[in-house]
Amino acid sequence: MAVVSLASAYTTYIATERGDQAGALDSIASQQSAEEQQAEQQFDAKVAEDQRLLARYAAYDQTQRRTRRDAAAVRTSDPGQASWLDLQEQADSDLQRALNPFFRTVGSSVNTNTGAATYDDELAKAVMRMWDWRLFRADSATTRELAATTRARATSIVLVVVVLVLALFLLTLAHVAATNAGLALAVLGTLAATVAIVRFFLVDAAAAAPLALAIGLVALIAIILVRLSRDRRWFSGGEMSATLPGLIDVPATVRTPLPPVDAEEVGSRLPQLVAVVIAAATLLAAGVGYLHGEAALRSDGQAWIARELGVRAIGALRSAEENTAVGVGKFELALTQRVAGWNAAQQQAYAKSIGDATRAAQLQRDADGWLALADSTEQGSGIAGELGQGSVCDQAALERIRAGVSQESARLAALQDAANAASRHWSEHAAAYVSVLAWLTVAAYLLGLAVVFRERAVRALLSTVGVVMVAASVVWIGSVWAQPWPASSDVADRSASTFAQGVVALVRGENATAEARFTEVIAARPDFVMRGRIEHKRSSPQVRLGRRVS
C-alpha cells in the first residue's frame, strides 16, 4: 500500500504538471495568434497600397506609350508638336519614377512590351512572412497542437491516478477481509496497480523513470524492515537458528544481549506521535489550500489582462497603420503634384523659348498652382518634417516613417507577454499546491493506517513513508516559493518600452541600437517568451548582428 500510495501521489503531481504545461502552451499560442493577426493586417495593408500604386503606375505607363507614339507620328510633319509631346512623355516618366519609392513589396510587375500590370499578392505575402520577425520560428497552430498533445497526456495520467486509487482501496479492503476474500482483493489490487504503472510508463516514460527508482527504494526498505522484524530476537539476545534464510547471516547467540524493548511502551507512544503528525499535516493542508486559491485567482487575473492587452495591441496596430497610410498617401500625392509643377515649369520655359508668350503665361500659372498645392498637401501629411519638404524621398526614408507603426503594438505585445508570464507563474504555483494537497492526503491516509495495524514492521513502514511525504511536502512548498517571481509592473513597463524601441530600430535598419535594446529586455526579463525570436532575429543573415545572447 505504501508503494501504491507513493505512486498515486507522484502521478497526481505529473498530471497537474502536464495540465499546467498545456495551459501555458495555450497562452503562448494565443499570444502567437495575436502577433500573426497583427502581421497579416500589415501585409494586407501593404498589398492594398501597392495594388493602388501599381494601377496609377500602369496608367502613367500607358499614357507615356501613347504620347511616344503620337510624337513619333508627327515628328516629321510637325516638329513643334512633337517637342510638346516629348515634354509630356517626360512628365509621365517623372511621375512614374516618383511612385517607385512608395512600393512596399516584390509582387508587382509591368510588361515592358505591352505595359500590362500584374500583381502576385500571394508571392508578396510569402516574402513578407519569410522576413517578418514575428513569424519566422513557431506558429500558433504548431503550439496549439503541442498543447493538445500535452493535454491528452495529462488526461491519460489522470486515468492512471484513478486506477491507482482503486488499487489502494482494494489493498485496504484486503487487510480487513477474510482470508480467501482478502487474498483475492490483494491480487486484484496488485494487478490494477501494476497495469496503471505500466500505462504510466507508456504515456510518459521520462516522468515515470523517477517513480521506478522510488518504488525500488521503498521495496528495499520494506524488505529490510521485514527482515529486522523477523530477527528482533537476535537484537534482544535470544536464540535463533543459524540456518534461517535472510539478507544477512545471523549468529545463533549473542554474547552481550541488548536490553529488551518494551513493546507496550512503543505501542502506546506511536499513536500519539502519529496523531501529532496528522494534526500538523492537516494544518499544513489548510494553509496550502489557501495558497492554491490565491494563486489560482492571480493566474486568472493575469490571464484576463493578457487577453485585454492582446486586443488592444491589434487595435493599436490597425489604427497606427491607417494613420501612417493616410500620411504616406498624402505625401505621395504631394510629390506627384510637385512633379507636375516642375513639368509645367519646364514646358513654360520651352514655350517662352519659342516665343509663345500666352501659353508660357498659362503654364507659369499652372506651375505655381501645382507647387502651392503640393506645399499644402505635404503639410497635411504630417510627415513632411521628417522627410524634408519638397524632397524626393527614397524607400529607406519611407520605411523609417512606417517603422513607427509597430511601436505601440510592440509595447502592448510585450506587456501581454509579461501578463502571460505572470499567469503561467501563478498557474504553476496552483498546480504545485494541488500536488502538495494530494501528497498530504496520502500521507494522512498512511499515518492513519499505521495506527490501525498491529504488526510493528507494517506500522514502521507506513508511518515512515507518511512522515517522509509530509516532510517532502514542506520542502516542495519551500522550493515553489524559492522560484523567481514574475516581473513587477514597473519592470514590465520599462521592458515593454525598451522592446518597442528595439523593434522600431530593427525595422529602420539601426541594428546596433536594436541589439542594445533587446539585450536590456532579456536582462530585465529572462522569462520573456519572445526571447528566442529576438535572439534568432539578431543572428539572422538579414540583420547580421553577430553574436547571440545565451
Residue 263 has pLDDT above 60, yes or no: no
| ∠ CA 229-233-235, rounded to 5° | 85
Instruction: Name the residue among 270, 247, 314 with its Cα closest to residue 448.
Output: 270
- State the chain's mean pLDDT as an integer: 75
Query: What is the predicted pLDDT for the residue at 385?
Result: 62
Residue 235 has pLDDT above 50, yes or no: no
Contacts of 443 (CB under 8 A, 6+ apart): 281, 465, 466, 467, 469, 470, 473
Place of cell 529486522: 228
Tell me how many domains the chain contains.
Answer: 2
**Long-range residue pairs from 270-276, CB within 8 A, at least 24 positions apart, any chain:** 270/450, 270/451, 270/459, 270/463, 271/451, 273/463, 274/447, 274/448, 274/450, 274/451, 274/463, 274/466, 275/451
Contacts of 449 (CB under 8 A, 6+ apart): 1, 172, 462
DSSP letter string over 427-480?
HHHHHHHHHHHHHHHHHHHHHHHHHH---HHHHHHHHHHHHHHHHHHHHHHHHH
**Digit-coded pLDDT (tens) for 483-526:** 888 888 888 898 889 988 888 888 777 888 888 888 888 888 88
Report CA-CA distances (Å) from 103 to 97, 116, 158. 11, 17, 56
- SS3 for 482? helix
Residue 112 has pLDDT above 80, yes or no: no
**Digit-coded pLDDT (tens) for 344-370:** 888 888 888 888 888 888 888 888 888
Q: Which residues pair with 117 in a beta bridge?
A: 110
For residue 241, being part of any structural domain is answered with yes
| ∠ CA 220-463-198, rounded to 5° | 50
- SS3 for 487? coil
Q: Which residues pair with 109 in a beta bridge?
A: 118
Phi-psi category of residue 388: left, alpha or beta, with phi > 0 → left and psi -120 to 50 → alpha = left
Report CA-CA distances (Å) from 518 to 317, 401, 411, 422, 486. 21, 21, 13, 20, 19
- SS3 for 186? helix
Can you tell me the distance from the alpha carbon of 141 to that of 153, in angstroms, rounded to the nearest whole number? 18
Contact 29, 138 (CB under 8 A): no
For residue 165, being part of any structural domain is answered with no
**Mean pLDDT value across residues 275-282:** 80
For residue 520, being part of any structural domain is answered with yes
Q: Which residue has the higher pLDDT, 147 or 396?
A: 147
For residue 516, being part of any structural domain is answered with yes
Domain boundary among 212, 241, 261: 261
Query: What is the predicted pLDDT for the residue at 506?
Result: 81
Would you state the cell numbers that stand for residue 227, as one nine-digit string? 527482515
Residue 114 has pLDDT above 70, yes or no: no
Which amino acid, 8?
S
Gyration radius from the chain CA atoms: 39
Domain boundary among 217, 243, 261: 261
For residue 421, being part of any structural domain is answered with no
**Mean pLDDT value across residues 277-301:** 81
Instruction: Name the residue among 391, 443, 449, 428 with its Cα closest to residue 172.
Output: 449
Domain boundary among 243, 261, 279: 261
Q: Which percentage of the chain shows pLDDT scores above 90?
A: 0
* Residue 168 dihedral angles phi and psi, to the nearest 5°: -65, -40
pTM of whole model > 0.85? no
For residue 134, being part of any structural domain is answered with no
**Mean pLDDT value across residues 328-349:** 80
Handedness of CA 120, 124, 125, 127 (dihedral sign): positive
For residue 212, being part of any structural domain is answered with no
Residue numbers of the domain that contains 256: 231-261
For residue 239, being part of any structural domain is answered with yes
User: How many Cβ atoms sit within 10 Å of the Cβ of residue 323?
Assistant: 13
